Amino acid sequence: MTDAMIRIEDLHKQFGDLRVLNGVDADIRKGEVISIIGPSGCGKSTMLRCLNLLEQPTSGRIVIEGEEITAPGADAPRIRQRMNMVFQSFNLFDHLTVLENLTIGPLQLLGKSESEARKKALELLHTVGLAERANHLPSELSGGQKQRVAIARCVAMDPDVILLDEPTSALDPTMVSEVLAVIRNLARQGLTMLMVTHEMEFARDASSRIFFMHEGRIHEQGPPDQVFDHPQSPLTRAFIQRVRSHVVSIDSPDVDIFAIHGGLEGFCEKHLITRDVALRLDLATEELIALLLPGLESLKQFELRAEYSETDRSLVLSVNLPASFDNPLDGTDIESELNRQVLAQAGGEIDVVRRETSYDIQVTIRQQPSAQQA
């Protein structure tokens, strides 16, 4: 006998030849709040999607309160209502008002009356702080507000379990905390939740347990204090450390470059980053600051963030900029070309990751396999 509300047994999922889940086992009790962390591509989303049958598992069993949902002929729409999901990209109905977004499911799928659905929807909007937006269209809301509506809509379906897949990763940094506050509030009300997140501080204080996933398995799990402060496995430790990052904030044209170098050096020493990588991080940081300083007047301030991964010994230097700010790397003039070259020399890969109303410039600095260059 077990008091598990959800039991996952030896769950496997393959896409063609790609083995994404390689035997996930877990027991989740009612009222637990589980944060799933792990490197990108390790199967976190696929696991959540298998739980509500958006993906059909290749093998294994998922049992929810005694009902095996992986059995042939399972009622997928009903299971999706019981295990309702909040997506990264909100997925609101754009042509419906906020209130209608919340009532359409209960009216059409749960057979609730108009007044009942409306009453509950208004209550929920109140809970997420958006009661006065009931008659607005989603297009009139900010990203953070849209995601709060999406969470309320999810709860409106009376699910047994709420699944959240990186609910804040498409949001601008300024809107993350309002959404996390709403999720924390739901967690306190005793809802059972499974959430994929990169917000480590949040995962630590809002969850009852952490699952660290690696290559399609739950590699380590336990209470937040144990997983974050005393991880058993070197892989978990490396992942947790990577998330500890070093931030350089610039809010004045009088940049103290010596203080910045000193801070970076301390960070590199603490994480045993090789001298070669540390020097290139210094160079890339200096170059990015030089690129962004002319825009400081309009930006007011900017932050460079260095994150180190022990697993592949790469260091990522990134900066988040508003969409209205022209990407200083985009220019076609000679100066932009030179900027790109210097950054590429320091790093190797330069990526631009677009979000809703902002974008990240990311410079990946890898440890070179050998000192010899082609």
Per-residue contact track with Mg ion, 134 to 163, x per CB under 5 A? ------------------------------
Candidate segments 13-21, 68-76, 295-303, 305-313, binder of ligand ADP by CB under 6 A = 13-21
Candidate segments 42-50, 120-128, 146-154, 359-367, binder of Mg ion by CB under 5 A = 42-50
**195 or 268: CB nearest Mg ion:** 195
User: From the list ligand ADP, Mg ion, none, which binds 248 (C-beta under 5 to 8 Å, kind-based)?
Assistant: none
The single-letter DSSP state of residue 309 is E
What gap in Å lies between CA 185 and CA 192, rounded to an integer?
12
Question: Does residue 41 interact with ligand ADP by CB under 6 A?
Answer: yes
- 363 near 316, Cβ under 8 Å? yes
What gap in Å lies between CA 301 and CA 318, rounded to an integer?
14
- Give the other-Cβ count within 10 Å of 208's Cβ: 16
Spatial neighbors of 57 by CB under 8 A, at least 6 apart, are: 11, 12, 13, 21, 50, 70
User: From the list Mg ion, ligand ADP, none, which binds 70 (C-beta under 5 to 8 Å, kind-based)?
Assistant: none
What gap in Å lies between CA 24 and CA 61, rounded to an integer?
10
Q: What is the CA radius of gyration of the chain?
A: 23
**175 or 213: CB nearest ligand ADP:** 213
Q: Which position among 45, 192, 197, 339 is part of the footprint of Mg ion (CB under 5 A)? A: 45
The greatest distance separating any two alpha carbons of the chain, rounded to the nearest whole angstrom, comes to 73
Question: Does residue 15 interact with ligand ADP by CB under 6 A?
Answer: yes
Three-state secondary structure call for residue 340: helix
**2 or 40: CB nearest Mg ion:** 40
Q: Interaction with ligand ADP in 140-169: which residues (CB under 6 A)?
A: none
Q: Residue 270 Cβ, how far from Mg ion at the closest point, in Å?
A: 29
Candidate segments 35-43, 230-238, 328-336, 353-361, binder of ligand ADP by CB under 6 A = 35-43
How many residues in the shown chain lie near ligand ADP by CB under 6 A? 10
Q: Residue 164 Cβ, how far from Mg ion at the closest point, in Å?
A: 11
Q: Residue 40 Cβ, how far from ligand ADP at the closest point, in Å?
A: 4
Amino acid identity at 120: K
| E-state strands within the chain | 4-15, 18-29, 33-37, 59-64, 67-68, 83-86, 161-165, 192-196, 209-214, 217-222, 245-250, 302-309, 314-322, 348-354, 358-366
Give contact residues for Mg ion (rule: CB under 5 A).
Answer: 45
Applying CB under 6 A, the residues found at the interface with ligand ADP are: 15, 18, 20, 40-46
